[in-house]
Chain A
Amino acid sequence: MSGRHEWQAEYNSSPLREVPFETMSGVPLEAVYGPDDAEFPGRWPYTRGPYASMYRSRLWTMRQFAGFGTAQDTNGRFKELLRSGGSGLSTAFDMPTLLGRDSDDPLAKGEVGRAGVAVDTQADMETLFSQIDLGSVSTSMTINSAASVIMAMYVGVGDRTGVERSALSGTIQNDILKEYQAQKEYVFPPRPSVRLVTDLVRFATAELPRWHPVSISGYHIREAGSTAVQELAFTLANGFAYVEAALQADLAIDEFAPRLSFFFNAHIDFFEEIAKYRAARRIWAHWMRNRYGATDGRSLQLRFHTQTAGVSLTAQQPEVNMARVAIEALAGVLGGTQSLHTDSYDEALALPTEQAARLALRTQQVIAEESGVVHVADPLGGSWFVESLTDELERQAEEVFSYLLEEGSGSMLDGVIASIDNGWFCAEIADAAYQFQSKIASSRWIQVGVNGYTDGDDHQPPTLYVDPAVEARQLADLAAVKQSRDDEAVRRSMERLRSEAVDPTINLMPALIEAASRYVTVGECMGALESVFGIWLERSFV
């Protein structure tokens, strides 16, 4: 059977949105174009998309990431979003929570509730999701080092409100490897951190069938200055490393692989980005089947979230950023993304205002409703240029995989960790960032408003103001919880965490869920684990 026949059968069984699939002038459009023996979306090796019908069945999820202040403030925003028809909640945590520190930690000063919501105990999570049915929403939580602790609290809120664990739906980022490489929100050394990731994957596989326990993220690698090839290669290498860790923990590949998801950047080089997404899908399919023995189609299909490149935004003439975001978002859509966050034009100046965030969402809606690009899957497939660029990015990524496999003596997990240990990833990324800065300095790259076309930077838009009283309110809440909880139960929970952390064959999730239910704080849980795991310090940078 030709590729087209297999694709057609799957397409015919897909539900379609009720809109006319035609151009603005009424020219009817096919769902995909190409010769009968071409690659097809939804078919091996999935270069052209994970699904046969792509956006004809379902548009991407427009998922805007937000969070601020106390749990109560963000709960208000969540309920507002649900009332206006949204079904996906996306949670940004503040820096102390992301790093597993309580709001009363001396290092938290000035950062409580500032870039996201502050969560110290399960009481905050109960407030954050108060009057929201966790069985009927999908929640995305962007957190890594303290992901297991926060996940335990989320499960705890579900348990308390009578929601079956099997009904909990959402994603937790829980991608620790890229923290050492790029975002730098690490706490423990890589090995015990990967164990925490694997424990959560095991727990979700057993108890949370609708949950995505890790979102393997290239976004931050790119923001830290990498090239598109490095983003592609490092991210997929991290994905392979998690797969190997889960296989070592005796999970079967097709049990957990369908729940793995990805998160990529959409930068400004339009065709390179589209080629990157296409190459990512093809590489993942090949490796999952050929190296790891996956057979379930869902294990082979790479699905991803996209965010436009914060780092491409300029503080100069900030309105110009709207044009950049539109181009980048379009690349994500033409590359077949499953969900998309568009940046606000004021993000190089401050955290986004509500007005700027709405404009960013409207940009996606223009692409979805007006541009017509959603009718045809992988519309650039077959372009000599895009196909050639896809092949070239794949080839260059494979070179990186070969290097890492050699570093790990045949193990991608060991190769990635060795290259974190010796600072290779950081050096590669920092070098790429410096090369790009040199291009700007020498005007070999023109950034509009920065080193070219600089007239007209006369208007500064209003920026978001975060009330400094948030910190005081959060500290008072934390003190009250600490006052009312059972201290002896807290002590026993922390003791259990310490003793189970010593034995790597024990899954730490049950102990964390117990601790959360006793209102042990995020900082206390992390402290108990730290007493066994130790902490990670970056190699000094020369």
Chain B
Amino acid sequence: MDNDRRIRVLLAKVGLDGHDRGLRVVARILRDAGFEVVYAGLRQTPEMIAAAVTEEDVDVVGVSMHNGAHLTLVPAVVHALREAGLDTPVVVGGIVPEVDMPQMKSEGVAAVLGPGASNEEVVATVRAVAEAAAATSSET
């Protein structure tokens, strides 16, 4: 990754859930930390996210889940990205029960940020995920 280029993060809610408090707070935390935030907002479909990632040249996708549909919707987002030929990493924020963590990882989710994650944790996780992805893509 070009060091001068700021990390671009797309933030979205997938599905019908409207709990956007966390997404909006994270948008400001990341922006304050120097990231470029593309705020896609509510009711995004996996396909809309894949299209926006292509169009906006995004480094990391952040999706926020609060109503128990993560086992269906998160894999759908990862799948839509891969279908579109994108290896953009996906970070999930919100409520994901501990028992679902292994499945999140096996579905290709790069990281999960649970409730109570600190500002530093959010920033460090997104940065690490972006840098790891950049390192992988420059190897290949």
Q: Could you tell me which A residues sit within 8 Å of B by CB distance?
A: 95-96, 98-99, 101, 107-111, 114-115, 179, 183-185, 223-225, 311, 314-316, 348-351, 430, 433-434, 437, 440-441, 447, 449-451, 460, 463, 466, 468, 538, 540-542
**Distance, CA A437 to CA B29, complexed state (A):** 9
Q: Which residue of B lies closest to A224 (CB)?
A: B21
Q: Judging by beta carbons under 8 Å apart, are A95 and B17 in contact?
A: yes
Name the one of A107, A316, A449 contacting B15, with C-beta atoms under 8 angstroms.
A107
**Distance, CA A434 to CA B25, complexed state (A):** 5
Stretch at the interface among B55-63, B82-90, B113-121, B130-138: B113-121
Count of chain B residues near A, Cβ 8 A: 34
Interface residues of B in 14-53 (CB under 8 A from A): 15-21, 24-25, 27-29, 39, 41-43, 45
Name the one of B27, B28, B29, B68 contacting A114, with C-beta atoms under 8 angstroms.
B68
Name the one of A98, A225, A316 contacting B21, with C-beta atoms under 8 angstroms.
A225
Q: Mark B65-81, 1 if CB is under 8 A from A, else 0.
A: 00111011100100000
Confirm or deny: B102 has a beta carbon within 8 angstroms of a beta carbon on chain A. Answer: no
User: Max chain B CB contacts within 10 Å: which of A223, A350, A451, A541?
Assistant: A541
Name the one of A185, A314, A316, A437 contacting B119, with C-beta atoms under 8 angstroms.
A437
Cβ–Cβ < 8 Å partners of A314 in chain B = 115-116
28 contacts between A and B (CB under 8 A): A95-B15, A95-B17, A95-B67, A95-B69, A96-B16, A99-B16, A111-B16, A111-B67, A114-B67, A114-B69, A115-B67, A115-B68, A179-B18, A184-B19, A185-B16, A223-B21, A224-B21, A311-B21, A348-B95, A434-B24, A434-B25, A434-B28, A437-B25, A447-B116, A463-B98, A463-B99, A538-B41, A538-B42
A541 with B27: in contact, given A110-B15, A349-B95 (CB under 8 Å)? yes
- Extra inter-chain contacts (6) besides given A184-B19, A541-B27, CB under 8 Å: A110-B73, A111-B17, A184-B18, A315-B115, A449-B116, A542-B39
A441 with B118: in contact, given A95-B17, A433-B21 (CB under 8 Å)? yes
User: Max chain A CB contacts within 10 Å: which of B19, B67, B68, B95?
Assistant: B68
